[in-house]
Chains A and B, each alone.
Chain A
Amino acid sequence: MSAVTVPAVPRLESTGRVTQARVIVSEWTKLHSLRSTRWSLLVAVVLTIGLPAIFAAVTSSHWAHMGPHERADRHPLDIALGGVNLSQLAIGVLGVLVITGEYATGMIRASFTAVPKRLPVLWAKIVVFAVVSFALMLPSVLVSFWASQAILSNIQPLHTSLSAHGVLRSVVGGAVYLMLFGIFCLALGAIVRNTAGGIAAFVALFFVIPPLLNVFPTSWQNAINPWIPNSAFRSIFQLTHSSHSLSPAGGLAVSLGYVAFAVGVAAVLLVRRDT
Chain B
Amino acid sequence: MVAVIEATGLVKDYGDKRAVDGLTFSVQPGVVTGFLGPNGSGKSTTMRLILGLDAATGGDVTVNGKHYRDHRAPLHEVGALLEARSVHTGRSAYYHLLALAQTHGIGRARVDELIDLVGLHDVARKRAGKFSLGMGQRLGIATALLGDPHTLLLDEPVNGLDPEGIHWIRNLLKALAAEGRAVFVSSHLMSEMAVTADHLIVIGRGKLIADTSVDEFVRLASGAVVRVRSPQATRLRELVLGPNVTVTSDEPTVLEISGTTTEQVGEIAAANGIVLHELMLEQASLEEAFMELTRDDVEFKAEMAA
Contacts and interface: CB of A to CB of B under 8 A. Distances in A.
Interface stretch (A107-115, A157-165, A195-203): A107-115
Interface in B74-110: 74-76, 78, 80, 82, 84-92, 95-96, 98-100, 102-106, 110
Nearest to B55: A274
Contacts of B171: 2, 4-6
A41 B174 CA distance: 47
A109 to B, nearest CB: 4
Interface string B50-84: 01111100000000000011011111101010101
A15 B73 contact: yes
A54 to B, nearest CB: 32
B51 A8 contact: no
Contacts of B99: 26-27, 29-30, 33
A72 interface: no
Given A9-B148, A106-B85, A23 B54 contact: no
Contacts of A112: 51-53
Contacts of B110: 10, 12
Interface in A1-51: 2, 4-12, 15-19, 22-23, 25-27, 29-30, 33-36
30 contacts: A2-B167, A2-B170, A2-B171, A9-B179, A10-B110, A10-B113, A11-B148, A15-B73, A15-B106, A16-B106, A19-B105, A22-B103, A22-B105, A25-B102, A26-B99, A30-B91, A30-B95, A33-B91, A33-B92, A36-B90, A106-B86, A110-B86, A112-B51, A112-B52, A113-B80, A113-B86, A114-B75, A114-B103, A115-B74, A115-B103
Given A8-B175, A15-B106, A116 B95 contact: no
B265 interface: no
A114 B53 contact: no
A12 B145 CA distance: 10
Given A4-B171, A17-B104, A18-B72, 18 more contacts: A4-B164, A9-B145, A10-B113, A15-B104, A15-B106, A16-B104, A17-B72, A18-B74, A23-B103, A30-B91, A33-B98, A102-B88, A106-B82, A107-B86, A109-B86, A110-B86, A110-B143, A116-B69
8 A-B pairs with the lowest CB-CB distances in the bound complex, closest first: A16-B105, A33-B95, A12-B148, A116-B69, A15-B76, A26-B102, A107-B88, A274-B54
A35 B104 contact: no
Nearest to A19: B105
A15 B167 contact: no
Interface size class, chain B: 35 or more
A244 interface: no
A243 interface: no
A275 interface: yes
What range describes how many residues of A lie at the interface? Answer: 35 or more
Contact of A116 (B68, B89, B113, B176): B68
A117 B67 CA distance: 11
Contacts of B117: 7, 9-10
Interface string A84-115: 00000000000000000110011111111111
A125 B80 CA distance: 23
A18 B103 contact: yes
Interface of A: 2, 4-12, 15-19, 22-23, 25-27, 29-30, 33-36, 101-102, 105-117, 272, 274-275
A18 B90 contact: no
B105 A34 contact: no
Given A29-B99, A274-B54, A106 B84 contact: yes
Nearest to B168: A4
Given A107-B87, A107-B88, A116 B74 contact: yes
Contacts of A36: 90
A275 B53 contact: yes
Interface string B5-45: 00000000000000000000000000000000000000000
Interface in B106-157: 106, 110, 113-114, 117, 143, 145, 147-148
A117 B72 CA distance: 10
Contacts of B73: 15-18
Which of A9, A19, A33, A106: most chain B Cβ within 10 A?
Answer: A9
Contacts of B281: none
Contacts of A29: 95, 98-99, 102
